Amino acid sequence: MSSWIAGLSWVTPLGSGVDSVWQRLLAGERPPLEKLQSEHNAASYLVHRVPDHATKNLPPHPRLRRASAISRFAAAAGLGAIADAEVAPNLERSALVFAISNGGVIYTRRFYSEIVKAGAQSASPLLFPETVFNAPASHLAAILGICGISYTVVGDGAVGVLALKLADDLLASGQVDTCLVVAAEEIDPLVCEAYRQWRLLRNSRSPENGRGMIVSEGAGAVLLSRNDSGCEVKKIDAGSNFFRRAEASAKLRRTLERLGLKGASFCIGSANGTFVGAAERRALGENVRAYYPKLALGDSIGASVLWQVIAAVQGLRTGRLPGSVEPVRGSGAIVLACGVNQQIGGLALCSDREKYRSALS
Amino acid sequence: MNPPPKIARRVAIVGAGVVSPLGFGLGETLQSLRKGTDCVTPVTAFSVDKTRCKTAGQISDSRLLEGMNRSRRDRRLHRASHMVIAALDEVWSQTDAFKPEIVIVGTTSGGMTFGERFYRTLGNGGCSAALIANYPPQKQIVDALEKFHIDAPVQVIANACASGTNAIGHAFSTIRAGQYQRVLAGGYDALSELVFVGFDSLQASTPEKCRPFDAKRSGMVLGEGAALLALEELESAQRRGAEILAEIVGYGISTDNHHLTQPNPDGSGPRRAMEQALAGADLTSGGIGYVNAHGTATVFNDAAEGKAIEQMFDDVPISSTKGMMGHSLGAAGAIEAIVSLLALQHQLLPPNINFRDRDPELRLNIIANQARQAEFDCVLSNSFGFGGTNASIVLRKM
């Protein structure tokens, strides 16, 4: 069984409107680079941050009063995807599936630093609950009034595929009619330092050098439905794990075979300036048209697959991809995800262009 | 709209493995349950000088590393990976022909202690890339799978303390709906300072004994461990002649939007999860012979859960086994699924230890302090967590 994409939304360093951000990407715009300074050493990190205006329309809610940035991004994206749907979902028959990698790292770092610097007796009970991986999902469920199924799925940069697969399985089993899949991340210097020490980060002194990733933040949300809505999720391959980086390319190729690369007009890849790019290029070969949104928006880790899905849908909808004037022909697209920490997966999308054209007009 | 599948397949447990403060493996766990052993001990992994609570259910490191080849790669693994390897080893000893199509597990903190060490070494150059690479919460299970040459996708559910039951319950739902035939499901969590201090800061953990459902209960103690179940569509398991340990017949999940850390005092969240699990199992409450309660021994949890059980069941024997082993968070639901499995297999009602005084607000049939024998066919196991997540599963004797 397949599911359909009924609504989309994202919160990115280029703003939050699906169409307006896409137009900026098509025009070749890049979000501004900010430099974060380490609290612990002389290191600095280049990042793409979400501008304040991207979440300015978020309605106030008691759950968001103390919540970290990640929960605000998630709420804005989740509400946006529901508002984007032509038919409002019946929330009693809806599930929430949340994808996350680093999670509420700002509060986690603050809480642990209180333990280390001032002692356990000084650690704030207000911070700890927000460190839990499912805190953003809990806030969003409370805002939306979802009282049934809510799952938070954790993993590396490919976690969005695993979350979409879980959502697709929920729809296929008939447990729900719609499923809101949300993924979000926030930036903290601690995460940047970890990626720097792992030698995955862009050197802050030579940003023009394409090697290494630029960490970004934000959220993506997709409302999946069992109703035909124009863009079909034909297949989700929850993939496999690569135990050594050298294995990544072969495993990506197997995922592409399972997804049916030949039927796709283009691929939205997850290249981010690290070994992932080379692995994907080897797997895709030279003749496949590909676009890599992480190279423009930065790598939002846990949120990135949802951005890729939105880019794929927009590519099918508008018939254009950033960086090329050549129109997209055909109605199929593949989203390929390779995280930096062992997980691989992907999905195949197929759109009914006529339905989209009428919706756009 | 695509119609949902109509045929509900039956789901068998064909393998089980566990490591927890109660012991390594099903045999030691059963012994501890029979004796009602208090396996909670003073914390040794980090300083507890400035916390109210000083104890936890812990797993011996030396025992955990017995049998490991101590290669450089093994030594870099997180303790939680070693726990998962121990549990997986036991599963494989029962059912080595089991090839999961997907692995669905729960955890709350993954490799958190590596994150703590990373933070503490910042600025002094003592950090290693292995700490960073092995910290993320999916790594502990993925590393364990590599040891057993299992190349299946891994879904890691982090629904706080309900994660383990959610993972098993979702795995059950996918097999029942015909999406998979074989799923490896369970949960893991290792004790960490951040989480220990976190519960202490909320005054959710106790400086005394953990006394679930007691009138003078004063909070939880933490625990750790890992447990895995090999789940298979019943006909497939029967065709290949697998030994069937029990059947999972129902799963319920609900979200309580009352508060991030506190359940709705009316017990409606747990009640909805239990009702769904019973409905899915096609059972009435009278069909349940034992309830393995979430029973953290916090004032709020036990009041809400107790109220829901009291409303739904008529004098069913219940116990929380967390007094014996502590609350292992993302692993708890999986370990307690194995406790429930052992209870069914051996017709044993595990004890609720450290119980002294009945709570006058709760009319519950607590299995106080000593295990009992009984005849029953079905067990219901509950797990609830931060974020308002509630999950219940029903197991049936084969």
Number of residues assigned to chain B: 398
Determine the Cα–Cα distance for residues A238 and A261; give it in Å rounded to an integer: 16
Q: Residue B249: which of B146, B359, B380 has the closest Cα? A: B380
**Encoded amino acid at B254, one letter:** S
| Domain B11-396: CATH superfamily, name plus number | Thiolase/Chalcone synthase (3.40.47.10)
Instruction: Tell if the CB–CB gap between B151 and A240 is shorter than 8 Å.
Output: yes
Instruction: Tell if the CB–CB gap between B255 and A138 is shorter than 8 Å.
Output: yes
The most distant pair of C-alpha atoms in chain B lies apart, rounded to whole Å, by: 61
Provide the pLDDT for residue B1.
54
**Active centre residues of B (catalytic):** 161, 294, 327
CB B150 within 8 A of CB B200: no
Angle (nearest 5°) at CA B49 between B43 and B55: 25
Q: Mean pLDDT over all residues of chain A?
A: 94
Q: What number of other Cβ atoms are within 10 A of residue B10's Cβ?
A: 18
Q: Looking at the complex, does the CB of residue A290 fall below 8 Å from at least one CB of chain B?
A: no
Q: Is residue A358 scored above 70 in pLDDT? A: no
CA-CA-CA-CA dihedral for B23, B24, B30, B32, to nearest 10:
-10
Query: Cβ contacts of residue A200 below 8 Å, gap of 6+?
Result: A212, A213, A274, A340
Determine the Cα–Cα distance for residues B157 and A134; give it in Å rounded to an integer: 9
Which residues of chain B are modeled with pLDDT < 70? 1-6, 126
Instruction: Classify domain A231-360 at the CATH class level.
Output: alpha beta
How do residues A56-109 score in pLDDT, each as one tens digit? 989 999 999 989 999 999 999 999 999 999 999 999 999 999 999 999 999 999
Provide the pLDDT for residue A66.
87
Provide the pLDDT for residue B75.
82
Helix (H, G, I), strand (E, B) or coil at B248: strand
Instruction: Tell if the CB–CB gap between B203 and A125 is shorter than 8 Å.
Output: yes
Provide the pLDDT for residue B357.
97
Start-to-end C-alpha separation, chain A: 30
Provide the pLDDT for residue B96.
76
Using CB atoms, pick whichever of A111, A150, A193 lies closest to residue B255: A150
Q: From chain A, pick out residues whose CB is under 8 angstroms from the CB of B123.
A: 40-41
Which residue of B lies nearest to A240 if distances are taken between CA atoms? B153
Q: Residue A154: which of A324, A339, A335 has the closest Cα? A: A339
Q: From chain B, pick out residues whose CB is under 8 angstroms from the CB of A154.
A: 107, 110, 136-138, 156-158
**DSSP secondary structure code for residue B368 in this structure:** B
Residue A220 is encoded by which pair of tokens? Answer: 């993506």
Give the pLDDT band (50/70/90) at residue A360: very low
Instruction: Tell if the CB–CB gap between A156 and B253 is shorter than 8 Å.
Output: no
The predicted model scores a pTM of 0.97
Helix (H, G, I), strand (E, B) or coil at B71: coil
Bridge partners of B183, per DSSP, are B102, B231
CB A248 within 8 A of CB A80: no
Give the pLDDT band (50/70/90) at residue A225: very high
Secondary structure string (H, E, C) spanning chain A: CCEEEEEEEEEECCECCHHHHHHHHHCCCCCCCEEEECCCCCCEEEEECCCHHHHCCCCCCHHHCCCCHHHHHHHHHHHHHHHHCCCCCCHHHEEEEEEECCCCHHHHHHHHHHHHHHCHHHCCCCCHHHHCCCHHHHHHHHHHCCCCCEEEEECCCCHHHHHHHHHHHHHHCCCCCEEEEEEEECCCHHHHHHHHHCCCECCCCCCCCCCCECEECEEEEEEEECCCCCEEEEEEEEEEECCCHHHHHHHHHHHHHHHCHHHCCEEECCCCCCHHHHHHHHHHCCCCCEECCHHHHCECHHHHHHHHHHHHHHHHHHCCCCCCCCCCCCCEEEEEEECCCCEEEEEEEEECHHHHHHHHC
In angstroms, the separation between the Cα of residue A206 and the nearest Cα of chain B is 23
Strand pairing report for B11-20 and B246-255: antiparallel
Instruction: Tell if the CB–CB gap between A134 and B159 is shorter than 8 Å.
Output: yes
Q: From chain B, pick out residues whose CB is under 8 angstroms from the CB of A146.
A: 255, 257
Number of residues assigned to chain A: 361
Using CB atoms, pick whichever of B4, B146, B386 lies closest to residue A173: B4
Helix (H, G, I), strand (E, B) or coil at B150: coil
CB B245 within 8 A of CB B285: no
Residue A228 is encoded by which pair of tokens? Answer: 């035909």
Residue B287 is encoded by which pair of tokens? Answer: 């069909």
Q: What value of ipTM does the predicted structure carry? A: 0.97
How do residues A163-188 score in pLDDT, each as one tens digit? 999 999 999 999 999 999 999 999 99
**Encoded amino acid at B12, one letter:** A
Using CB atoms, pick whichever of A1, A111, A150 lies closest to residue B198: A111
Residue B167 is encoded by which pair of tokens? Answer: 């993972």
Instruction: Tell if the CB–CB gap between B136 and A138 is shorter than 8 Å.
Output: no
Instruction: Tell if the CB–CB gap between B122 and A41 is shorter than 8 Å.
Output: yes
Helix (H, G, I), strand (E, B) or coil at B195: helix
Angle (nearest 5°) at CA B212 between B208 and B216: 60
In angstroms, the separation between the Cα of residue B47 and the nearest Cα of chain A is 9
Q: Which of residues 156-175 of A touch B (CB under 8 A)?
A: 156, 159, 162, 165-166, 169-175
List chain A domain ranges. 3-225, 231-360
Q: From chain B, pick out residues whose CB is under 8 angstroms from the CB of A66.
A: none
CB B3 within 8 A of CB B175: no
Q: Which of residues 309-348 of A touch B (CB under 8 A)?
A: 341-343, 345
Instruction: Tell if the CB–CB gap between B50 and A119 is shorter than 8 Å.
Output: yes
Q: Looking at the complex, does the CB of residue A109 fall below 8 Å from at least one CB of chain B?
A: yes
**Encoded amino acid at B54, one letter:** K
List chain B domain ranges. 11-396
Using CB atoms, pick whichever of A135, A155, A194 lies closest to residue B156: A155
CB A121 within 8 A of CB A206: no
Instruction: Tell if the CB–CB gap between B193 and A115 is shorter than 8 Å.
Output: yes
Provide the pLDDT for residue B3.
57
Start-to-end C-alpha separation, chain B: 37
Q: Looking at the complex, does the CB of residue A42 fall below 8 Å from at least one CB of chain B?
A: no
Using CB atoms, pick whichever of B132, B156, B199 lies closest to residue A154: B156
Q: Residue B196: which of B304, B60, B300, B55 has the closest Cα? A: B55
CB B153 within 8 A of CB A242: no
Strand pairing report for A178-185 and A218-225: antiparallel
Of all residues in chain A, the percent with pLDDT exceeding 90 is: 89
Q: Residue A343: which of A203, A240, A227 has the closest Cα? A: A240
Q: Looking at the complex, does the CB of residue A62 fall below 8 Å from at least one CB of chain B?
A: no
Scanning the structure block, which residue is given the tokens 């940047």?
A: A192
Provide the pLDDT for residue B384.
97
With both helix axes pointing from N to C terminus, report the angle between A304-318 and A159-172 in degrees, rounded to the nearest 10: 70
Instruction: Tell if the CB–CB gap between B108 and A132 is shorter than 8 Å.
Output: yes
Instruction: Tell if the CB–CB gap between B145 and A123 is shorter than 8 Å.
Output: no
Q: From chain A, pick out residues whose CB is under 8 angstroms from the CB of B387.
A: 132, 134-135, 137-138, 141, 150, 152
Cα of B284 vs its chain's centroid, Å: 24
Q: From chain A, pick out residues whose CB is under 8 angstroms from the CB of B199.
A: 128
Q: From chain B, pick out residues whose CB is under 8 angstroms from the CB of A345.
A: 153
Q: What number of other Cβ atoms are within 10 A of residue A323's Cβ?
A: 14
To test the contact with chain A by mutation, choose from B166, B197, B253, B272 the residue with the greatest count of A C-beta atoms within 10 A, namely B197
A3-225 CATH: 3.40.47.10
Provide the pLDDT for residue A30.
96
Residue A107 is encoded by which pair of tokens? Answer: 């509060």
Determine the Cα–Cα distance for residues A339 and A279; give it in Å rounded to an integer: 11
